[in-house]
Chain A
């Protein structure tokens, strides 16, 4: 037993030394970088007019590097499919009935959060905000509802829920495919339509993000399987 503890301490000491060396090396490397580097900011600024939005981060996320975002919507949906596939996740041990305070809080905050989400979505075109932030706020509203004891009804938890979950990725892919059919490139928006298309994708994306994140919080798959 003592031998084992000794080994453990020795292991940790060696590990700490190795990791300190790693940190020192990485720190040196970071400090050796030049103090001025424009990165891609000039190109982004130059092409911002054609991107359809004026917030550069939104432009990168949904236009210049929109393909990354498409795949990332896939990652989010995949996580949910994965969690559902595990099945049988234990419920919370004691589900104490939510008190009146929580109930009131939910009634008060949920509409407010939905408003905030809508605002963030709209403002994302030209100021900080956008689909992910809006989706996260929507998810917060959903989590609050779940905490207050609300559960999706059986009518909602089948096909309608699944449709809501895939809308974000679905619209994204549909827009991409439609552009290909119009003999443009994947996700190549014409500057005059870019703003509208981005907004369409963002609305669908934030809805799906919100519901996906709330569903991840709920954990296991709702009991009802969609039926034909």
Chain B
């Protein structure tokens, strides 16, 4: 048990699942679900290993950095893998009912590829290997968006592909500069050898710009709402919940490990962009008339919060940011699934015509409401803990003004969530004939929304995981 390389299995199993689904399309649902369960078990195994033995480093091929590629798992990567596993399982269950058999055979190999890319990305300790995983992730995500067909989805996918490739190339140029400055692409070795120079600044700029584009931080968010809103529902959920978080994770790793010298002015700039993203995303979310677009703009807004930790740059702030990421992943997946159920049920997602959804789809509305509670940051949800940590960090570091945006953003979120819920209770002028929503779709949404709330009730546990390997350093004063 102790010697099993769980981390490697977490990456290779979805690849094997992909190959199996590709070879036997007619069996893709059982093959895919089996793979999903196996991946969840392996993530649990890795979690046990990391909790018992501390952060893990694994030298692929036995060479070790700088010659070979290392995998590295600490509390940060473990939590990312775990949230991916939970959301991934939910999406897998949801998609069994969502896709018709023909589409399903196309969906599964792509989705398992994407899962493999995510797991490989969270475990990689090598900035060039991260480039390859980013490309794998981007291409899989684009193909999944295009799965919806139709003009909106295809143009959304095309724009997304161009943006994703541009981001990767900018990142890769930064990698080239770092390699030629320090002779390694391993994060730990770069961290040791790092010293300020114009080259390093250029690398920071190029890599950060590429990753911010992929993370869709304001003003580089333009591609996100059309792509996320026009994709098939399970895909919208996994894009908003996981894919944008992956590039944020890479950015976080780089900032924490190899760019600590950049924290001052650039951190303030990122915080400021985050503030604008919160306000702008919230404002546009309020103005949307379609549910999936509203949720997509809400993602733009919530991504803004993540960047509030950069100007504060204390351990509590990073923990708050990560906590927000985790609870947003769960809540946003649930929210998109709920929207998908409403779309499936009524054939449209016009907010003004949500005809008594409350009576007809009580589970779905409950899921939407619970996810909304977490997005607003109300207790006892995970969103509350996250905002509390960020609030504490901003007061402690004397930069209390960042706290205002947390409260303002919460109010805006409340406004657009309540708008949707309000329409769901009223009878529309034109009543609709509606089809039944399969039970797995409703329960998957509710389960993820509940998980977002539970994340707040059991806060000490994830907070303890975040300490493993000290990814965020030690808090200076307590």
Interface residues of A (CB under 8 A from B): 25-26, 28-30, 32-33, 37-40, 43-44, 47, 63-68, 71-72, 74-75, 77-79, 81-82, 84-86, 159, 162-163, 165-166, 169-170, 173, 176-177, 180, 183-189, 225-228
Contacts and interface: CB of A to CB of B under 8 A. Distances in A.
A47 B12 contact: no
Contact of B59 (A65, A165, A173, A185): A185
Contacts of A188: 60-62
Interface residues of B, number: 52
Nearest to A159: B23
A192 B117 CA distance: 32
B139 A227 contact: no
B180 A33 contact: yes
Contacts, number: 142
B458 interface: no
B476 interface: no
Interface stretch (B64-72, B396-404, B405-413): B64-72
Interface of B: 3, 5, 8, 12, 15-16, 19, 22-26, 58-63, 66-69, 106, 109-110, 113, 116-117, 120, 128-129, 132-133, 135-136, 139-140, 142-143, 146-147, 173, 177, 179-181, 183-184, 197-199, 202
A176 B12 contact: yes
A81 B143 contact: yes
B15 A64 contact: no
Given A30-B177, A64-B61, A176-B8, 10 more contacts: A65-B128, A68-B128, A68-B132, A72-B132, A75-B135, A78-B139, A82-B143, A173-B19, A184-B62, A186-B5
Nearest to B139: A78
Nearest to B179: A39
Contact of A67 (B129, B147, B183, B202): B129
A189 to B, nearest CB: 8
A29 B129 contact: no
Contact of B132 (A29, A43, A44, A71): A71
Contact of A162 (B23, B110, B177): B23
A189 B61 CA distance: 7
A184 to B, nearest CB: 7
Contacts of B116: 74
Contacts of B106: 81, 84-85
A173 B15 contact: yes
B132 A177 contact: no
Contacts of B132: 68, 71-72, 75
Contact of A32 (B26, B67, B173, B199): B199
B205 to A, nearest CB: 9
Given A173-B19, A187-B60, A75 B183 contact: no
B15 A169 contact: yes
